[in-house]
Structure formats: structure tokens, C-alpha cells
């Protein structure tokens, strides 16, 4: 296996340049995809025969819920890489992903609650899926609190990696909660092994939204990671040159 990529990925400067180049394209792609998805989902997708138009919340709820979980999984992988190989970039990723992950988890919970009101007749139930998702939000918030409470960067990296890894047991619980326990929550919309139960004019915009929100996530992560890299590498010549070359007020 060729490890060059892995070694390059470990270099903050290489990553910084790559992220700088990719960021505008990812932003354009995400705006295009999210715009198309929202427009399609709100205007063109047919209303659900049982839920009527409140089902359109799905186009926000499902993408944010998927991202909330996969962002946590990515952090767990980064945490493992950070612990095993002491890769600086791993903790930089966790630092960037935590606030973004927390906010999409909040969105998934919020849109779920608002969708639940007209559909189930209640904003909230303490069932397995919803509770596990709330635990995920607390894990994200705990991680952010932990990171801001500690000074020593090495200690922060180690403690966050352990917290993220321990918390990752929650992810399969969220995933399978709708199958293991009785719940009001409907089963997964997208499965790898089956065709979606909805007609294409309903699930295609949803798929567009999912891809769009991943692109947008990448934009946010790249921006935050670049900032984090500048801060940590501020004593290197390339960062000092880059800071010198910045126009006042610039900072895309």
C-alpha cells in the first residue's frame, strides 16, 4: 500500500494548501446542491399521502441527522489516528468538527421535534432514538467544554480522543434504536441494501440535500481547520509569510 497520501495528510502545510484550493469549489457545489434540494423538496416534491406537507421537513431533518452521526464517527476515527500515530492533523480535525457537529445535531433534534408535533401529536418522547440523539448532542457539548477547559494542547488532544472514542458506542445505538426498540420514529429512509420506500421525486431531492450538506460540512471544516493550522503553526516561516501577505480585512 502507498502511504504517501497518509504522510502528506499529516502535514499541516500540505493540507492547508489543499483546503484553500478546494474550498471555493466545495462552497459553490454546496450552494448549488442545497439550493436545488430545498427548492425541489419544498415546491416540486409531492405531499405525503399521510403527513401532507409537514413531511417536507424531511429534507432538512434527514441530512442533518445523518451528518450529525457521521461527523461523530469521523471524529472517532481521527481520535484513534491521533492516539496511535500522534498525528497533529487528527486533533485539528476534531477541533474543527466539534462545533459544526453540535450544531447539526441540534438541528436534527429541533427539526425532529417540530416535525413530531403535527405527525405524532407531541414535540418530544423519551424513546430510544430521540434520547440517544440527545445524548449525542451532550457528547458534542461535553467535548467542546472539555477542550475549552484545558490549556495544554497535548492533553486536550489526548482527552478529546478518549472522550470521542468512548462516546462512539452511542452511534450504533442511534442507528439501530428504531429496530431494537418500539418507537414512534419511522425506520431509516435510505438503506444501502434496499430501494427507498418513497417514489423518486421524493427521494432524489433528499439525496441531493444529503450530498449538499456533506459539501457544506467540508467547507466549514476546511475553514475551521485552516484557522486552527494558522494558530498552531504560527511560528513557522510559511505561516508568517502568509500572514504578512494578507490584505487587511481579508480572510476568506
Footprint on this chain of other proteins (rule: CB under 8 A): 38, 42-47, 52-54, 56-57, 60-61, 64, 99-100, 103-104, 106-107, 110-111, 114-115, 117-118, 216, 219-220, 223-224, 226-227, 230-231, 234, 239-240, 243-244, 246, 248-252
Q: Which is nearer to other proteins, 62 or 81 (CB)?
A: 62
Instruction: Give the residue from 98, 105, 103 showing the smallest Cα distance to 157.
Output: 98
Q: Which is nearer to other proteins, 81 or 213 (CB)?
A: 213
Q: Which is nearer to other proteins, 81 or 215 (CB)?
A: 215
Q: Which is nearer to other proteins, 107 or 130 (CB)?
A: 107
Q: Which is nearer to other proteins, 61 or 88 (CB)?
A: 61
CA 183 – CA 60 distance, rounded (Å): 21
Q: How far is the CB of 125 from other proteins (least distance, A)?
A: 17
Q: How far is the CB of 118 from other proteins (least distance, A)?
A: 5
Angle, CA of 139, 77 and 207, to the nearest 5°: 80
Q: How far is the CB of 165 from other proteins (least distance, A)?
A: 25
CA 122 – CA 91 distance, rounded (Å): 40
CA 190 – CA 180 distance, rounded (Å): 18
Find cell 505561516 and name the residue: 239
Q: How far is the CB of 22 from other proteins (least distance, A)?
A: 15
Q: What is the CA radius of gyration of the chain?
A: 20
Chain mean position to CA 62: 12
Chain mean position to CA 157: 19
Amino acid at each position: 500500500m502507498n502511504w504517501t497520501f497518509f504522510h502528506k495528510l499529516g502535514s499541516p502545510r500540505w493540507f492547508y494548501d489543499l483546503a484553500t484550493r478546494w474550498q471555493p469549489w466545495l462552497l459553490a457545489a454546496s450552494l448549488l446542491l442545497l439550493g436545488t434540494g430545498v427548492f425541489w423538496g419544498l415546491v416540486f416534491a409531492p405531499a405525503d399521502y399521510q403527513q401532507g406537507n409537514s413531511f417536507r421537513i424531511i429534507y432538512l431533518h434527514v441530512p442533518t441527522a445523518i451528518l450529525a452521526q457521521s461527523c461523530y464517527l469521523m471524529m472517532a476515527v481521527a481520535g484513534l489516528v491521533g492516539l496511535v500515530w500522534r498525528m497533529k492533523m487528527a486533533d485539528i480535525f476534531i477541533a474543527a468538527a466539534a462545533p459544526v457537529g453540535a450544531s447539526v445535531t441540534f438541528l436534527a433534534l429541533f427539526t425532529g421535534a417540530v416535525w413530531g408535533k403535527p405527525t405524532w401529536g407531541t414535540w418530544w418522547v423519551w424513546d430510544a432514538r430521540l434520547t440517544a440523539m440527545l445524548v449525542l448532542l451532550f457528547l458534542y457539548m461535553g467535548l467542546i467544554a472539555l477542550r475549552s477547559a484545558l490549556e495544554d494542547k497535548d492533553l486536550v488532544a489526548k482527552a478529546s480522543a478518549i472522550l470521542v472514542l468512548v462516546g462512539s458506542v452511542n452511534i450504533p445505538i442511534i442507528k439501530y434504536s428504531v429496530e431494537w426498540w418500539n418507537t414512534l420514529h419511522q425506520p431509516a429512509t435510505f438503506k444501502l441494501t434496499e430501494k427507498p420506500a418513497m417514489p423518486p421525486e421524493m427521494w432524489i431531492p433528499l439525496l441531493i440535500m444529503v450530498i449538499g450538506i456533506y459539501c457544506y460540512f467540508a467547507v466549514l471544516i476546511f475553514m475551521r481547520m485552516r484557522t486552527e493550522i494558522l494558530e498552531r503553526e504560527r511560528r513557522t516561516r510559511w505561516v508568517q509569510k502568509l500572514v504578512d501577505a494578507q490584505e487587511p480585512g481579508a480572510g476568506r
